[in-house]
Amino acid sequence: MTLPTTEEILDDLGFFDSWEERYKYIIDLGKALPAFPDELHTPERLVKGCQSNVWLEVAGNNQRLEFIVDSDAIIVKGLLVLVLAAFNEKSPSDILDFDIDGYFQALDLERHISPTRGNGLRAIVAKIKGIAQATQ
């Protein structure tokens, strides 16, 4: 599956008049995530700090990191696509340099998700940035 870019997501969200429509779009993004192999649903792949279960696996090398993700919550799967649009198949330095706060502000996301979902989103971002830092 080819994930949308951050620009495509921002453009697509701009077409919707309400947050209810935007939520549906985000949920639909999550439905398009590739299947996460059952054998990777392990405790060491769980991202700590998330309200829902989120599993993260990384592949690739110092040039480009590829992430596969899963969650047991459908809205979180969509939020994971928003994060992957920013970080997947990028170099560690590109991941560390990306203005994720600016991206989230442009999405106007954090005003429309619960504080616990926001904390989980930050935990996922921190985990990916930690992987990028360790890979550099």
Residue 90 CA: distances (Å) to CA of 9, 28, 37, 135: 17, 23, 22, 12
50 labelled catalytic: yes
pLDDT tens digits for the chain (136 residues)? 578 999 999 999 999 989 999 999 999 999 989 889 999 999 999 999 888 999 999 987 778 999 999 999 999 999 999 999 999 999 999 999 999 999 999 998 888 888 888 889 999 999 999 999 998 8
Q: Which domains does the chain have, with CATH numbers?
A: 6-135 (3.90.1010.10)
Instruction: Say which residue the tokens 């993700």 belong to.
Output: 69
Q: Which of 9, 13, 47, 50 is catalytic?
A: 50
In the 8-state DSSP scheme, what is residue 109?
-
| pTM, full prediction | 0.93
In the 8-state DSSP scheme, what is residue 48?
T
Query: Residue 59, SS3?
Result: strand
Contact, 47 vs 56, CB < 8 A? Answer: yes
